[in-house]
Amino acid sequence: MNKTRGGHWLRRNTTVDDLLDDGVENDSDTKVFSEEAPPSPGPAADALQRQRTAYAGEQRTQAVSTARRALRQSRSFWGAGTGIACIVAGALLILHPVAMWVSHPGMKRAWPIMEWVSQEGSVLYGGVLVLFGGALTAFSLFVPRT
């Protein structure tokens, strides 16, 4: 790739905002292109440094509390309720197995399929339903550690 094509690719795939954004993301409040002299060492510079450190710590604390609040809100109680309902239905199938005909709806223009489920099959389906309900409940209420 020659220089011209490389320069065009770089201009098409990056923006000035992307390039200048890095200072903000790294908690840098300094003016990069300013012509001011750096502050001289002394009590004023120490106070300014303490103020900047306190501000950065405050911003970090606010970001962490916002993230924790978002994680707490990520729990799905509807999903947990559905999982508990599956657990209850599966437990009933295990405790009181029923032999029955089950109708499965067909695809387009196909007849529904009838399946005979024995008592042993009912216990098996109940066990699968309990496992599915437990996994759904755990997944709905799980909040990752921070």
| Banded pLDDT at 133 (limits 50, 70, 90) | very high
- The amino acid present at 74, given as its one-letter code, is S
Residues β-bridged to residue 117: 100
Which pLDDT score is estimated for 55? Answer: 80
**Under a CB-based contact definition with an 8 Å cutoff, are residues 85 and 130 in contact?**
no
Question: In the prediction, which pLDDT does 136 show?
Answer: 94
Which residue did the predictor score with more confidence, 132 or 44?
Answer: 132
Spatial distance between the Cα atoms of 21 and 54, rounded to a whole number of angstroms: 22
Spatial separation of the C-alpha atoms in residues 9 and 65, rounded to whole Å = 40
Average pLDDT of 59-68? 76
pLDDT of residue 124: 94
Give the start-to-end residue ranges of the domains of the chain.
41-73, 77-141
Residue 114's SS3 state is strand
Res 123 pLDDT > 60? yes
Predicted pLDDT at 93: 93
Q: Are the CB atoms for 116 and 101 separated by under 8 Å?
A: yes
* pLDDT, tens digit (0-9, with 9 covering 90-100), for 72-120: 666 788 999 999 999 999 999 999 999 989 888 877 777 888 889 999 9
pLDDT, tens digit (0-9, with 9 covering 90-100), for 11-42: 666 665 555 555 555 545 555 444 555 556 67
Banded model confidence at residue 134, pLDDT cuts 50, 70, 90: very high
